[in-house]
Amino acid sequence: MQHTPIQFKGSCFTFFVLYLLSNEVNIVKTAIQKQIQKLPNLYTHASVVLNVSLLSEKIDWISMKQAILSTGLYIVGVIECKNNMLKKMIIQSGLPVFSKNNNYFFKKEKNTNIQHSSVKMLQFMNKTLIVNTPIRSGQTIYAKDRDLIVTSHVNSGAELISDGNIHIYGIMRGRVLAGANGDTSRQIFCTNFFSELISIAGEYWLKDNIPLHYFGKMVNIFFNNGLLQIKLID
C-alpha cells in the first residue's frame, strides 16, 4: 500500500497577539525587549501574530519585521491590516495576512488606553486548566489566558505560569507567576507555601524577599497600589 508523504489536517493553535502601536522601529523593539525581560520564561522565542491596525504605509516594514525577529520572537502572520499599501509590503516580505474569514479567534481589546504604549500582547480566552498530578522539578505548566488550579504538590524547580489566577491545593515549592499577560487584578492562592519565586503581572519576589512566617502557611498573594503583597488566609 502506498503511503502519502504529507497530510493536511485542521487544528487550532493559540498564539500571542502582538499589537504594534507605533511606526518607530526602535521604540517597538525596545518595548518588546522590556516585555521579554520581565517574563523571559513566557515570551522568549514566543510565536506571535502581529496586529497592525494602527500602522500606516509610512512605516519601514522590512526594518520593523527584522527588529521583531531580532528580539527572538517568531512571526506567524499579520491580522487587521486596513491599509492596502502596507498589506502589499507585508506580503512581499514573505508574511501571510489573515482576513476575518480565516479561522483565527482572538480576544478583543477593551483597553481604551491602548495608544499610550508601543506594543500590547493578548491571547484567546479558554476555560480553567486543572492539574491533578504532582508537578516535577524542571516542569513548566502554562495556562494561557485562563486560571490554573493544581490539586497536588509542586516540587522545587517546577514552574506555574498563568494569565489568570493560580490556586495550589498542595505544597508549593517552585515558582508561581500569575497575571503573566500583565493583568494586575490576578491573584495567587496557596494552602502550603514554600515558593522560590512569586510574581503577578511581571512584579516578583524571590524567596529571600519573603518573610519567614509566611512559609508553610495558607497565603494569598495579590497586587495592590502598585505593590506586590502577601497575607495569611485564616
Mean pLDDT by 10 residues, the chain (234 residues): 68 70 92 86 82 89 95 91 92 86 41 45 62 88 88 91 92 91 90 92 85 93 89 89
Give span(s): CATH 2.160.20.70, the chain: 129-232
Give span(s): CATH 3.30.70.260, the chain: 16-122
What letter represents residue 83's amino acid? N
Per the CB < 8 A criterion, the answer to whether 144 and 130 are in contact is no
Residues 6+ apart with CB under 8 A from 34: none
Question: Given this model, what pLDDT does residue 64 score?
Answer: 95
What letter represents residue 189's amino acid? F
pTM: predicted TM-score of the whole model, two decimal places: 0.52
Residues 6+ apart with CB under 8 A from 128: 143, 146, 147, 148, 149, 164
Question: Given this model, what pLDDT does residue 143 score?
Answer: 87
User: Residues 224-227: contacts with CB within 8 Å, 24+ apart?
Assistant: 227/203
User: 64-100 burial, b for 16+ CB within 10 Å, e for fewer?
Assistant: bbebbeebebebbbbbbbebeebeebbeeeebebbee
CATH number of 16-122: 3.30.70.260
Question: Given this model, what pLDDT does residue 2 score?
Answer: 61
Question: Given this model, what pLDDT does residue 151 score?
Answer: 92
Q: How far is CA 166 from the centre of its chain?
A: 15
Domain 129-232 has CATH 2.160.20.70: yes
- Answer left, alpha or beta for residue 95, where phi above 0 means left and psi between -120 and 50 means alpha: beta
* Count of Cβ atoms closer than 10 Å to residue 27 Cβ: 14
**Measuring CA to CA, which residue among 68, 108, 60, 100 is closest to residue 82?**
100
